[in-house]
Amino acid sequence: MKTQHVYGRRLVALPLHFCKGVFIYLKGMSMKSFLRVILLSVAVILSACATAPAQAPTATSVPEATMAATVAPTIAPTTAPTAVAVASVTDSAGRVVAIPTSVSKIISLAPSTTEMIYALGKGSAVVAIDMYSDYPPEVSSVAKISNPDMTYNYEQIAALAPDMVFAAGITSPDVITAIEKLNIPVVVVGSVNTTFASIKSDITLVGTLLGATSEATTLTTQMQVDWDALVAKAANIDSKPRVFWELDATDPSKPYTIGAGGFVNELLVAAGGINVFGDVENPYPQVSVEQVVAAAPDIIILADSLYGVTPDMVANRAGWEGIPAVKNQSVFPIDDNLVSRPGPRIVAGLAAVIAIIEEVLVEVKY
């Protein structure tokens, strides 16, 4: 049995026999978070857990992004009950859900959705969240209704009597059914096939349901402007370094990485990098040390740094010493929450990746 990571935290005693999932909603989730959740989802239905390490890795600092990497655009909070202008909605899963005419109490089951709600200025309506939602800081005082094993306290949910529950694209159908049996509408926000465009659509959906349509338009418009500016900046980079993106090296001899088709691959390409495993169809393949060495990445990005993996640990791995990124000390940790949660802070995640690539290109010429 191996430790399994879900929504950006670790679950103990869950088997890890499958390739990781797509994009993190609760870590996502996270990439490590959503990635592990997909594993769990595939194992259970074939279809953003411990707290982060007390001591963060210090071996290599993360280049400072040109855009704030931890602050998402936010709308001034409102305190009035959230009015809903529609009687039903088609959610991200294609389900037509009947919704109340007004919403004043909501529960979020995903860190990404929680961040959307607060970014839209509707945090006052949140009465409970999943245990992995940890941003913005205000959520620390909100009741938690999920457990480390991904089960939920349905009695607590019923007692809170929310007008609506937001689930994630990877939320188990059994969980959705159980909540709906409490006569509480459940709206799925986000799918496993995440893109930057779909993230904006998810924010629009949440805004519509919470009576924050104009706020959602303002937020997504600004996100697009910032995204386009960053992509244009990355396009001016003279050379495109080869990047190995490490998602999980619980077994250092067989790390998980990103292939084609996943959102993180889209993010890396937008930042001006070349994914060394971008020709692999599996979005999140598990590869061998020999494959990593043969790929000869110029940069290694550690999306598993929140779990204690450091550049020094990578440098000390058997067989890794000849990799260009290791020889040139171009191994960098990154805040996985920024790049794996499909929410408002994804633009800051792009900025963080660009900052890493720019620093390496300044120090090393390829």
pLDDT at position 238 is: 82
pLDDT at position 114 is: 98
Number of neighbours of residue 347 by Cβ within 10 angstroms: 25
pLDDT tens readout for residues 282-305: 989 999 999 999 999 999 999 999
pLDDT tens readout for residues 93-109: 999 999 988 899 999 99
- Beta strands across the sheet bearing 242-246: 274-275, 242-246, 299-302, 331-333
CB 308 within 8 Å of CB 10: no
Q: Give the CA dihedral 319, 323, 327, 333, nearest 10 degrees.
A: -100
What radius of gyration, in Å, describes the C-alpha atoms of the chain?
20
CATH of the domain spanning 82-225? 3.40.50.1980
Domain ranges of the chain: 82-225
Phi, psi of 104 (to 5 degrees): -125, -15
pLDDT at position 149 is: 82
Confidence class of residue 35 from pLDDT cuts 50, 70 and 90? very low
pLDDT at 327 over 70: yes
pLDDT at position 75 is: 52
pLDDT at 49 over 70: no
pTM for this predicted structure = 0.78
